[in-house]
Structure 1
């Protein structure tokens, strides 16, 4: 009997792409507002936030520091200004969060890690970021 509700759910999910394709186009933005993004793919060299969040962070001396926890966005400039890193101790327990400029990170496409342009001791000595 449990197969009937699952079948109904799957049938409903299968219809979503068709609904999205037949939706009416959005109204034009008001004068002075930036137009909505219409790109169908991500430009070369760009990544999605989803691909950056929760990545392991390594220092220049190849020590795992923690992971990318959050992004700080400046809405006026429309760009990421800083990355919040969860700094972990040797047992993997969170010590604190720190904020570093995005340009301090090097992201290798296809890898699960991010390298920060700092030594592990320097990262651990950064002041805590109040979330």
Structure 2
């Protein structure tokens, strides 16, 4: 009994140490996330497919694996993306995250039920 408890404790502690921010963790329960940002002729893309496919693109450079996972987690944490997020609040968070000259934002989230949530903004929509 003591040995089982110790194993559970070690597993629990490892999980806490290796976990990333809760907001990103909640999104990762979904089937897929696609985030595309265009800023000054550079296209940035973050992609996640459940359970562990990560991809990050900056212009022509494509990154996969652990570094891509870090980038995806970073942007999801910054955006605080949820199914009921508002487009303008996502755009504001994106700008606060360093994309101050964004000209296009396209975010797509598919949840575990297969429901697709989409937030799209283009600079010429509002004349800004």
TM-score scaled to structure 2, two decimals?
Answer: 0.30
Q: Which has the larger radius of gyration?
A: 1
- Name the one with the larger helix percent: 2
User: TM-score, normalising length from structure 1?
Assistant: 0.29
Higher RCO (CA < 8 A, seq sep 6+): 2
